[in-house]
Structure 1
Amino acid sequence: MKAKTLKKDKVNIITLGCSKNMVDSEVLSGQLKANEIDVVHENKKFDHNIVVVNTCGFIDKAKEESINTILEQVEYKKQGQLDKVYVTGCLSERYKNNLEEAIPEVDAFFGTMELPLILKQFEADYKAELLGERLLTTPKHYAYLKISEGCNRTCSFCAIPLMRGRHVSRPVDQLVAEAENLVKMGVKEMMLIAQELTYYGLDIYKKRMLPDLLNRLADIKGLEWIRLHYAYPTKFPLEVLDVMRERDNICNYLDMPLQHASDNMLKAMKRQITRGEMEDLVSAIREKVPGICLRTTLIAGFPGETLDDIEELKQFLAKERFDRVGIFTYSHEEDTSAYALADTIPQEEKERRAQEIMEFQQELSYELNQEKVGKTFKTLIDKKEAGRYIGRTEFDSVEVDNEVIIAGTAPLKTGEFYNVKIERAYDYDLEGVVVK
């Protein structure tokens, strides 16, 4: 495309939000590069002249961050530092008309499924033969593998189906080919992501195909860790756990957002499950895969939530002792069914409740980590920082879970595995030494 400058265009992609957005940015980067367009991600040098902002529209804070980032880039354009600003992603999908009216300086807005239209802005062609090939924004030893798009669930608080559409699974062969390509690039750990992992395959194969997919991926030589994120608890396919137990390179790790534990809240959230059913599921999971690491995510401050509901949630956490817990405060999202409910809990109170729950969980996390002292774990080195190496065990995913801090002068290689004996444990981190 023609730009104001005579030099060749250079595109900087800024990614906000979740790992699913990150994969979208990586795919866009791969397509641009294949069309011989210079592309970078989160460029700090500011030697680019075009920006693509990949936005998040999940909750209020994410929307605010996305809008501020767009406005910041528009200001650079006004100052003559940029030629073009494009916006894509979830916020753009959901509020395109409003954004076009509010920020006319943006050259074009695109939805979540409009990659070919973005490429047209660069007079570039969508190259179908590149399916699965992308430029990684992560360190080369791990990557995310998005196995499906969209969601058919009707949780009352969630706007994701409005932004990502209905569930669409990617074919098994396509995913295996992408994974094989990533392993050739040096990837040793793959994190499977989707809006809802356990629904995978129902749309195109008429049955839940996650166990079959896992077996195919586990056969790939050089793929040492496969990790499961975002599993929905209702009608959870327990045969997934049989594969996890049988295959050495599938991490004994499951990220299963439960959102709450009070039956009143679960019903209001339209989660299609009760506390008792969740307890039975957790018990069945731990029976099938002893020692499994369970991560969950919760919401505080949903309309109608009482202090008794919070106490019930804490009792549930005390009983089930999840290894990892994250928490969001409720965001009142228009066009969701919960939007019809009165959002009467002040933001400060939502945050206080979230903090109360996290402090409660913090004590449990400390106790669980203490149990690891003296034990040795296979550990993947992610980086070197301030003279120390930072790694993770199979029970820890990137950015959201424990890190293993390894002291000592012996040189370690990033992206390699070492046996690390844990010597000290804290609320959310472990310290250890490499052993033979």
Structure 2
Amino acid sequence: MAVQKRNVKVDVITMGCSKNLVDSEFLIRQFKAGGFEVAHDPEVSKGEVVIINTCGFIGDAKEESIETILQFAEAREQGKVKQLIVMGCLSERYMSDLKGELPEVDKFYGKFDWKGIVNDLGLEYRADLRNERSITTPAHYAFLKVSEGCNRGCSYCAIPIITGPHISRSIEDIKDEVQRLRDQGVRELQVVAQDLSFYGVDLYKKPSLARLVEELAQISGIDWIRLHYAYPAGFPEDVLRVMRDTPNVCNYMDIALQHVSDSMLKRMRRGVTRQQTIDLVDRMRATVPNLHLRTTFIAGHPGETDEDFEILKQFVRDARFERMGVFAYSHEEDTYAYKNYQDDVPDEVKQARVEELMAIQADISRQVNENKVGQTLKVIIDRPEGDGFIGRTEYDSPEVDPEVIVKGDGLQVGQFYDVKITAAEDYDLVGEVE
């Protein structure tokens, strides 16, 4: 299947999370270095070669990945695509099944076999480019993956099955990548990992997130650093001091709590109790003034009773998370829950619980936004839209959090402005440059 010519057009389609996006960006850099013309997530695919970087985390994500593969498999059959390649989490997890069911796909690769893809398309994999990416986000921000895999044994999660154990990147390696991103114009980092709390334990024999963040914050030209996907058990609380005392570390933490009733935390194998969770949230807020917390919860895990759900609802009301998402439980093959529990909460109950939690959160989010009216906040501009611009504050991660609708003209994308907030909507803010 090797392509022997240059100027090959490749479309890379990325499914799932920002960690997958980072993988795609490293791969795209290899292609461009070899002279290929690459489009990422094009509205209309025109590539001779289409590479789908799949997600295999939960049922909905797997279904979306399969539908995308089928769409391009049909294009392959019609001769609109010369080669169809599938990689990523779904491929890593179900490669043998997919090979049998999707003969239209030319080749399947695992999550990390970038070298194989590059070589099979007639290029030489360049190890000297290992820390270089062709970013697909707006030029002023990038996602930064600092580790891979996970050592936790949460009942519901297939990630360790897909990615293997936790492996931290060295601080030196990460800094090298950040400096390269900075030189491309990146001013804002979204630091991501499957488990930020565990960062450094394998390399440095102790949690080292605080040390990493301190060193990244010293790199000139990086204005904002935002942290995503911490774990409550063993949370490295020294990073809160760094957040509080370091101007370019955003007062923002994404920490997936998943539940709060003791019975559910035990069944989920989360390694924490309800009281420990409450105490951690209280300490986080006490240490970092105006901290904005993002979290996620799972509704309908096996064994979740009405009482468990009422405890969770009350916690959401009391904790008043600034940002929150809820997922319906997905019974994933080969997980602990799949092997040991019956999927005993009906789908309609799961969905009703998701909607009930999100309704509670909608009221909280509106109040959080209303409290910002009259404040002047630092805002980075992401894009022009309509008669104005769309930006974000330090409390807003791209794509998942609220935005700021900034009225006016003449603003520059990727630049920071002091914006006075004049109105609040359910999820977004409205403001004017001072």
The TM-score normalised by the length of structure 2 is 0.98
Q: What's the offset of the Cα at 1:29? A: 0.2
The 3-state SS of whatever aligns with 2:52 is: strand
- Cα-Cα RMSD: 1.3
Aligned to 1:406: 406
Please tell me whether the aligned partners of residues 3 and 83 of structure 1 are also in contact (alpha carbons under 8 angstroms): no
The 3-state SS of whatever aligns with 2:203 is: coil
The code of the aligned residue for 2:175 comes to V
Runs of 4+ off more than 4 Å: 1-4
Q: What's the offset of the Cα at 1:3? A: 5.3
The code of the aligned residue for 2:369 comes to N
**Correspondence 1:368 to 2:333:** no
1:92-131 matches, cutoff 5 A: 92-131=91-130
1:161-176 matches, cutoff 5 A: 161-176=160-175
Q: What's the offset of the Cα at 1:246? A: 1.5
Q: What's the offset of the Cα at 1:204? A: 1.4
The 3-state SS of whatever aligns with 1:157 is: coil
The code of the aligned residue for 2:326 comes to I
The code of the aligned residue for 2:360 comes to F
**Correspondence 1:66 to 2:46:** no
The code of the aligned residue for 2:216 comes to L
Aligned to 1:87: 86
Paired with 2:45 and 2:67, the residues of 1 have a C-alpha distance of: 18
Paired with 1:377 and 1:253, the residues of 2 have a C-alpha distance of: 15
Aligned to 1:152: 151
1:222-371 matches, cutoff 5 A: 222-339=221-338, 340-371=340-371
The 3-state SS of whatever aligns with 2:143 is: strand
Aligned to 2:184: 185
Please tell me whether the aligned partners of residues 191 and 227 of structure 1 are also in contact (alpha carbons under 8 angstroms): yes
In the alignment of these two chains, the number of paired residues is 433
Paired with 1:47 and 1:82, the residues of 2 have a C-alpha distance of: 8
Structure 2 unaligned blocks of 5 or more = none
Q: What's the offset of the Cα at 1:34? A: 1.4
Aligned to 2:48: 49
The code of the aligned residue for 2:15 comes to L
The 3-state SS of whatever aligns with 2:201 is: coil
The 3-state SS of whatever aligns with 1:318 is: helix
The code of the aligned residue for 2:251 comes to N
Aligned to 1:383: 383
The code of the aligned residue for 1:164 comes to T
Deviation readout 1:366-423 (Å, 9 max, x if unpaired)? 1121111111100011111122211111011111111111123x31111110111111
Paired with 2:46 and 2:17, the residues of 1 have a C-alpha distance of: 26
The code of the aligned residue for 2:349 comes to E
Paired with 1:2 and 1:396, the residues of 2 have a C-alpha distance of: 43
Deviation readout 1:315-344 (Å, 9 max, x if unpaired)? 111111111101110000010000121112
Q: What's the offset of the Cα at 1:10? A: 1.0
Structure 1 unaligned blocks of 5 or more = none
Aligned to 2:414: 415
Paired with 1:427 and 1:310, the residues of 2 have a C-alpha distance of: 25
Please tell me whether the aligned partners of residues 362 and 426 of structure 2 are also in contact (alpha carbons under 8 angstroms): yes
Please tell me whether the aligned partners of residues 231 and 257 of structure 1 are also in contact (alpha carbons under 8 angstroms): yes
Q: What's the offset of the Cα at 1:166? A: 0.6
Paired with 1:320 and 1:17, the residues of 2 have a C-alpha distance of: 28
The 3-state SS of whatever aligns with 1:418 is: strand
Paired with 1:99 and 1:202, the residues of 2 have a C-alpha distance of: 35
Q: What's the offset of the Cα at 1:45? A: 4.4
Q: What's the offset of the Cα at 1:2? A: 5.5
Please tell me whether the aligned partners of residues 258 and 297 of structure 2 are also in contact (alpha carbons under 8 angstroms): yes
The 3-state SS of whatever aligns with 2:204 is: coil
Paired with 2:333 and 2:33, the residues of 1 have a C-alpha distance of: 39
Q: What's the offset of the Cα at 1:426? A: 2.1
Aligned to 2:14: 15
Paired with 2:252 and 2:7, the residues of 1 have a C-alpha distance of: 46
Paired with 1:7 and 1:273, the residues of 2 have a C-alpha distance of: 54
More displaced 10-residue stretch of structure 1: 197-206 or 7-16? 7-16
Paired with 2:354 and 2:410, the residues of 1 have a C-alpha distance of: 41
Please tell me whether the aligned partners of residues 2 and 122 of structure 2 are also in contact (alpha carbons under 8 angstroms): no
Q: What's the offset of the Cα at 1:7? A: 8.3
Paired with 1:384 and 1:344, the residues of 2 have a C-alpha distance of: 47
More displaced 10-residue stretch of structure 1: 419-428 or 138-147? 419-428
Paired with 1:427 and 1:298, the residues of 2 have a C-alpha distance of: 21
Q: What's the offset of the Cα at 1:292? A: 0.6
1:29-40 matches, cutoff 5 A: 29-40=28-39
Paired with 1:328 and 1:44, the residues of 2 have a C-alpha distance of: 28
Please tell me whether the aligned partners of residues 332 and 343 of structure 1 are also in contact (alpha carbons under 8 angstroms): yes
The 3-state SS of whatever aligns with 1:187 is: coil
The TM-score normalised by the length of structure 1 is 0.97
Paired with 2:365 and 2:133, the residues of 1 have a C-alpha distance of: 36
The code of the aligned residue for 2:354 comes to A
Deviation readout 1:281-303 (Å, 9 max, x if unpaired)? 11111111111111100111111
The 3-state SS of whatever aligns with 2:214 is: helix
The code of the aligned residue for 1:384 comes to P
Aligned to 1:202: 201
